[in-house]
Structure 1
């Protein structure tokens, strides 16, 4: 993944409700959607236990993941509140829940910038000294980790996405992948509307250089609204 352009616009405004860290209206509500990756949740065989695709970490991976063991990764960043629930299953064990796995996530802020990087042509804003929107959690007995974050923004050349790196309990890498978001009328992507940027120039999943080959195993279920906040859930099968 490479950026073709860096972002110039900055998110501004005051935020007045716990769920809404940016301006909102009732017209932005999103009906719950059933679109998403549910493959591997039942563990009933190969047809429902497909391994999550391996994807690039991109140019902005977390530098020292073990330093950011936390469930709330917002670090004060502005944006619409989003709860992220990721269930990890073992594709080598009929997609049974994988307990004790380490799960790292990271994504850009509402403006499309990443922490720990910047001051270069790929990202002009310098965020090298901060670590927002990055965190690590350990899966429980149900294979679940939960993070509190904000709805990601977007930047040139990429669709809305979240990076995920899964390790076993000993720290051995099991899978690097990415989470895609449903798009189109009635979706959270449409409701958020790119925050202050809008969606002019937005790269859809079908044209994204990571997701253009399909998002069947990477597409999350996203429900909620800009006023109440969003809930993202996905199940990812990895070979443990």
Structure 2
């Protein structure tokens, strides 16, 4: 049963960037061990925790079926590889996977001009996209490494639907932090990491990221690759 709920929005930080939302509770943390061979799964994969999709969800997700979601936004290149399985670790083919995240400055497309985000990007749609999982449950997006904004750790939003369009899971992807990580290498782009909210302090991730923590490899010069497996109730 979903146990995390959207509770409240926080005050806007000094940089007029969006501040997200308190949340509490998370499903049991057990690292999934998916079978990604396309065959019969073995073992058990804990379903990813449900997180808020707000306050900046994609308004018309079906309009952005594409793998390259950059739309000329500048930033360090990043390939995001997301594998979707069911709770028995069987890869889920034909699922629809939407992702969205902020740009290097911490702003979202499709929103802005308000207290939540001063920069107005209501008429553009960067860093949003949809793909259909292959036989191995995999989707791949070409993007940039996300920036950060006040009150949130670096993250990517994910909404998974069945092939028929039924919502299966809304969750988020967390990034490893600390010395030697991609977050440290990117160093908040021009903002640095002064005032950055860590996973442990984040209102969404502070109760644990066992099912949501991606593996991120690469460098600022060569680009980064993010990979994660998410189990959904299907």
Question: Is the structural similarity TM-score above 0.5?
Answer: yes
Write out per-residue CA displacement over residues 139-193 of structure 1, whole angstroms, 9 at most, x where no aligned residue: 0000000000000000000000000000000000000000000000000000000
CA distance in 1 between counterparts of 2:177 and 2:150 reads 16
Select the residue among 188, 193, 196 that pairs with 1:199. 193
Higher normalized contact order (CA 8 Å, seq sep 6+, divided by chain length)? 1
Q: Corresponding residue for 1:140?
A: 134
> Could you state the TM-score of these two structures normalised by the residue count of structure 1?
0.84
Shift of 1:44: 3.1
Select the residue among 33, 43, 52 that pairs with 1:40. 33
1:153 corresponds to 2:147: yes
Select the residue among 142, 166, 177 that pairs with 2:171. 177
Q: Corresponding residue for 1:112?
A: 106
Shift of 1:4: 3.0
Q: 2:66, 2:131 within 8 Å by CA — same for their partners in 1?
A: yes
Select the residue among 56, 65, 69 that pairs with 1:73. 69
Select the residue among 39, 50, 67 that pairs with 1:54. 50
Q: 1:151, 1:230 within 8 Å by CA — same for their partners in 2?
A: yes
Q: 1:115, 1:128 within 8 Å by CA — same for their partners in 2?
A: yes
CA distance in 2 between counterparts of 1:151 and 1:4 reads 25
CA distance in 2 between counterparts of 1:7 and 1:38 reads 37
Q: Corresponding residue for 1:226?
A: 220
> Could you state the TM-score of these two structures normalised by the residue count of structure 2?
0.86
Number of matched residues?
210
| Structure with a larger share of its residues in helix | 1
Q: Corresponding residue for 1:31?
A: none
CA distance in 1 between counterparts of 2:13 and 2:104 reads 14
Structure 1 residue ranges without an equivalent (≥5):
11-36
Shift of 1:102: 0.1
Shift of 1:137: 0.1
Select the residue among 76, 84, 93 that pairs with 1:99. 93
CA distance in 2 between counterparts of 1:169 and 1:184 reads 38
Shift of 1:203: 0.3
Q: Corresponding residue for 1:4?
A: 11
Q: 1:38, 1:234 within 8 Å by CA — same for their partners in 2?
A: no
Structure 2 residue ranges without an equivalent (≥5):
1-5, 18-29, 36-40
- Call closer, same or farther: CA 1:38–1:143 in 2, change over 3 Å: farther
